[in-house]
A and B are shown apart, each in its own frame.
Chain A
Amino acid sequence: MPEQNQGVWNTQRNRPDIRLGFDELNYIIKIIKEVADFDFSHYAASSFQRRVYRVLEIYPFKSVQELVNRLRTDAQFTAEFIEEVTVNTTELFRDPEFWQEIRDSVLPSLAQHRNIHIWHAGCSTGEEVYSMAITLAEAGLLDRVKITATDINETVIKTAARGHYPERLFKLYDNNYRIFGGKKELSDYYKIENGSIRMNPELLANVKFRHFNLVGGEVFSKFDLVLCRNVMIYFDKVLQDQVSKLFYSSLFKYGFLAVGSKESLIWCSVSHKFKTISNDNKIYQARV
């Protein structure tokens, strides 16, 4: 996809000629389901609408029908469309207080197991996985862990596995790591080459990346800790409920679930099966 300037991406203003009401959106959703077997029907409508507008800004389609025709005939485009419509923003040590809580309240409990199994659901470009690996390394647990990191977007998974990030992001990341209070310097975990930050590949020694769709997804393994942060905000309540059930079923006894700092499990049907470890940091533990 052509590059967009990060700061000045606009909503509908650049395509006032195209109407994207519920009829048009539902039409697009129906076509994507047909051609790519991907179901956006339980995604949050507000952000879905904006994301489709964004595609309409990047590509000079004259109408919804033109977009739909392309979706029908060009599988490569459809794959790109799905990736473009989903949101990938992430950071190393995003919400530093969250990582402090993982370090101080969750890892000591996981440390009692011989093997630790962690699932990052919706890992995007991998920053969350590296944050976890660094936190585990500093707790001396990295060699006892098996991490599975999944996403629907193959492109971000490749980026995650490579671990190269633009240098300009690292001021923010360094700052996050400092607030987190890591034992070293963040720069101890990467080297700089050709203007890009290259994460130390050893951090990924026990990490497996794979494609996994949370929509309709079924239990594929059991984990001590599942992280799914800032993914369910793009889903409606129905889908949030389904996905949180999947997480509950994917946890071992007393396993932990972490969601984004502004997400809540309270209206999900499994909410009573969890005890709150940290309300501020949205960490829950499965009751038995």
Chain B
Amino acid sequence: MISRPTPYKAIVIGGSAGSFPVITKVLSSLKTPYRIPLILCLHRLKHVRSGFVEALSIKSNIKVVEPFDKQTIKPGFAYLAPANYHLSIELGNHFSLSTEEMVSYSRPSIDITFESCGFAYKQKLLGVILSGANKDGAHGIRKVKAYGGTTLVQDPMESKVATMPTAAIESHKPNHIYSSQKIIDFLNLINR
């Protein structure tokens, strides 16, 4: 079903409305040890600072954390962009946070995280856009592909809210359009 896997250094996942059940399912279905770090940029309510990591952790097979500024990126972790900060990647394999203006009315912005991951990891990156109610991420995933990365979009037909995956498909030609079950299979397949 899938071509030869490439050695990915990171997987970046973006989503908003309707993505939570998909993310939970992904996190509970990853075969451990999972060797590729996951970077999650999910929209959520401003000023709800805690609770999200806990909610995602309940069924997760890997550890979910909100990274601190300049924290080193390691395999075996899912890093969640903290509320009210943009999350980027610096060369030297660590995160960097910022409180710049919102982008497309969002902070964290999926576009920022994706573009910065694309710039840092080039062809060693897998970018995934899931269900969501706005167009954040459409620009970012296009940049991921332009930098040589692989892109995957949740099938809009299967997405709870199709706006975000549809916009991602309109902005560029993704390598894959998968249902959530196929996304999980793919993530496990590339974990070699």
Contact = CB atoms under 8 A, between A and B. Distances in A.
A47 B109 CA distance: 13
A8 B104 contact: yes
Interface string B57-91: 00000000011111100000000001001101111
B98 interface: yes
Interface string B105-117: 1000001100110
A11 B111 contact: yes
A7 B115 contact: no
B69 A264 contact: yes
Q: Which of A11, A13, A95, A261 has most B Cβ within 10 Å?
A: A11
Contacts of B170: none
- The size bracket of the interface on A is 20 to 34
Given A10-B111, A45-B91, A236-B90, A263 B69 contact: yes
A262 interface: yes
A262 B112 contact: no
B139 interface: yes
B31 to A, nearest CB: 31
B98 A7 contact: no
B15 to A, nearest CB: 19
Nearest to B71: A264
A47 B97 CA distance: 8
A264 B67 CA distance: 10
Contacts of B70: 236-237, 240, 264, 267
B55 interface: no
Nearest to A95: B49
A11 B69 CA distance: 20
Contact of A262 (B69, B101, B115): B69
A263 B68 contact: yes
Contacts of B116: 46
Interface residues of B, number: 32
Contact of A6 (B69, B90, B101, B139): B101
A12 B115 contact: yes
A50 interface: yes
Contacts of B88: 44, 46-47
Contact of A10 (B66, B99, B139): B139
A232 interface: yes
B100 A50 contact: yes
Contacts of A97: 49
A9 B70 CA distance: 24
B29 interface: no
Contact of B98 (A12, A175, A233, A236): A233
A137 interface: no
Contact of A47 (B82, B100, B104, B111): B100
Interface string B124-142: 0000000000000001000
Contacts of A262: 66-69, 82, 85, 97
B102 interface: yes
B69 A46 contact: no
A8 B139 CA distance: 13
A232 B112 contact: no
Given A11-B115, A12-B143, A87-B98, A46 B89 contact: yes
Contact of B103 (A10, A46, A51, A234): A10
B28 interface: no
16 contacts: A4-B101, A6-B101, A10-B103, A11-B112, A13-B111, A46-B90, A46-B96, A47-B96, A95-B49, A97-B49, A233-B69, A236-B70, A236-B90, A262-B82, A264-B69, A264-B70
Interface of B: 47, 49, 66-71, 82, 85-86, 88-91, 96-105, 111-112, 115-116, 119, 139, 143
Top 8 A-B pairs, shortest CB-CB distance: A46-B88, A264-B68, A89-B99, A233-B69, A7-B105, A47-B98, A44-B96, A9-B101
